[in-house]
Structure 1
Amino acid sequence: MLFMILCLKGVVLIVSTMDLKRKATNLQNLASGIHPLFMTFNNKVRKDVSKIEEFLEEVLCAPKYLKPSPKHPVSNTVGIDIFAKFSGYIKNVRPEANETLERGLLKILQKLAEYLYSPLPDEIDENSMEDIKFSKHKFLDGNEITLADCNLVSRLHIVKMVTEKYCNVNIPKGMTGIWRYLTNACSRKEFTNICPSDKEVKIPNSDVIKRLTR
């Protein structure tokens, strides 16, 4: 998410990998006991993602940097519970609860699909005789990527990949809003440059995936 925000603002990134079992001494001294994700700036450590996002917006501000805030508040919240529902579903160890959890995940995905397919407030002209029932906006808040997309799209990609590959559950084709959204995201470098590969998704979820594939 944070990488996508930086890419969207046009910040050039230098990415270095690190073995967490053998942290560099200076990193241990600076952020001892803290696990990723965290950020350091002027020797101050920020480890809360929302606080890091607020800091980036404060420092990388207009007019030099793009301020990609959504115009419609609901764009920030429409997919907010998807990853929590997904985590509850894939981490469930009680077979009798699996069907209920799967329905809960699909229900919240359907809510997102309907939002992506419905006209946004600024697409509706109250003085027009034309009744717009369906929208073609590419992203959550319109035709441009905003912070709302940075918060959602990579997580949605993980949900799609894991449920499809390890749970034998696909996002229904009837949820055309979501499929269009993911297709549009894949056409933008801000997403493709940071989109996690299957291996990157699998490593931190190895214990869960191992259980799902038994």
Structure 2
Amino acid sequence: MAEGPCIELFIKASEDAESVGNCPFSQRLFMILWLKKAKFRVTTVDMKRAPDVLKDLAPGSQPPFLIYNGEVKTDINKIEEFLEQTLAPPHYPKLSCRFRESNNIGDDVFRKFSAYVKNPTPTLERKFLATLVELNAYLETPLPCELDEHPDCTKSKRQFLDGDTLSLADCNLLPKLNIVKVICKKYREFTVPAELKGLTRYLECAYKEDQFRYTCPCDKEIVDAYRCVAKQVKK
């Protein structure tokens, strides 16, 4: 294999200006590059004291952004698509989902959570919980590949959204679920109900993966990011 591309990922820094900050989009790209097994450099950007060189690289942009062989890329969805197409087999693993439904499941979780954490009414709480139930149902429903192997299977045992390996869909959803877990526990005394076995299994499996666990910001960073919002709705 020839020498790989020169890749530098710029992500949001934490309050200490060095560690990984609270940004699910930064974590998403960090996970993708790690899963691709590509050689890359990560630079944490302290936006309060961003050096002029960063302003020159991507003027007006917020992290995350990517420099690939000298070319700056700032659109997150386009970066994901570019990396999947460029860092492709046989030299790099494919991360796109085999099943279309895996790509969009869980999209509403973070939106409903955001509404609920700002205004914890019973109605918004029910809508938020409904998104978790829907996600759980998908994780418990066998995928076609599981049914091909075990036609009588009624409950999926897979680890992740699209199978037993992390995919692009997981890189998008898991950073948001981590925020949901931390904030709901801190400010709502809420944890994922035990009866949601598929979602519980999914999170347990995810936190065992280095590519997810070591790209997560610390809990305090997430709590601090939501402190102003939480004070407004604290019971």
Q: Give the structure-2-normalised TM-score.
A: 0.81
- Report the equivalent of 1:48: 75
In 2, Cα distance between the equivalents of 1:56 and 1:144?
Answer: 18
- Report the equivalent of 1:133: 154
Please say if residues 38 and 47 of structure 1, whose CA atoms lie closer than 8 Å, have aligned partners that are also in contact: yes
Please say if residues 85 and 104 of structure 1, whose CA atoms lie closer than 8 Å, have aligned partners that are also in contact: yes
In 2, Cα distance between the equivalents of 1:151 and 1:140?
Answer: 11
Aligned counterpart in structure 1 of residue 104 of structure 2, from 58, 71, 77: 77
- Report the equivalent of 1:10: 37
CA gap 1:84/1:190 in 2 versus in 1, 3 angstroms:
same
- Report the equivalent of 1:211: 232
Structure 2 counterpart SS, 1:170: coil
- Report the equivalent of 1:147: 168
In 2, Cα distance between the equivalents of 1:77 and 1:53?
Answer: 15
Task: Tell me if 1:200 matches 2:221.
Answer: yes
After superposition, what is the alpha-carbon deviation per residue over 1:101-153, rounded to whole angstroms, capped at 9, x for unaligned?
11001001001111111111122249x7x632111011111111111111111
Structure 2 counterpart SS, 1:114: helix
Structure 2 counterpart SS, 1:15: strand
Q: Give the structure-1-normalised TM-score.
A: 0.88
- Report the equivalent of 1:116: 139
Aligned counterpart in structure 1 of residue 126 of structure 2, from 89, 97, 103: 103
Task: State the shift of 1:205 in Å.
Answer: 2.6
In 1, Cα distance between the equivalents of 2:208 and 2:166?
Answer: 11
Bigger drift between 75-84 and 200-209 goes to: 200-209
After superposition, what is the alpha-carbon deviation per residue over 1:170-190, rounded to whole angstroms, capped at 9, x for unaligned?
221111111100111111111
After superposition, what is the alpha-carbon deviation per residue over 1:151-173, rounded to whole angstroms, capped at 9, x for unaligned?
11121121111111112222211
After superposition, what is the alpha-carbon deviation per residue over 1:61-101, rounded to whole angstroms, capped at 9, x for unaligned?
22111111111110111111111111111122xx6xx1111
| Letter paired with 2:93 | L
Q: Considering fraction of residues, name the structure with more strand.
A: 2
After superposition, what is the alpha-carbon deviation per residue over 1:2-55, rounded to whole angstroms, capped at 9, x for unaligned?
111111111244333332122211211222222223233455443321011112
In 1, Cα distance between the equivalents of 2:46 and 2:137?
Answer: 42
The count of aligned residue pairs is: 208
Please say if residues 78 and 115 of structure 1, whose CA atoms lie closer than 8 Å, have aligned partners that are also in contact: yes
Structure 2 counterpart SS, 1:172: coil
Structure 2 counterpart SS, 1:16: strand
Please say if residues 110 and 176 of structure 2, whose CA atoms lie closer than 8 Å, have aligned partners that are also in contact: yes
CA gap 1:61/1:90 in 2 versus in 1, 3 angstroms:
same
Structure 2 stretches of 5 or more lacking a match? 1-27
CA gap 1:19/1:154 in 2 versus in 1, 3 angstroms:
closer
Aligned counterpart in structure 1 of residue 117 of structure 2, from 67, 75, 90: 90
- Report the equivalent of 2:89: 62
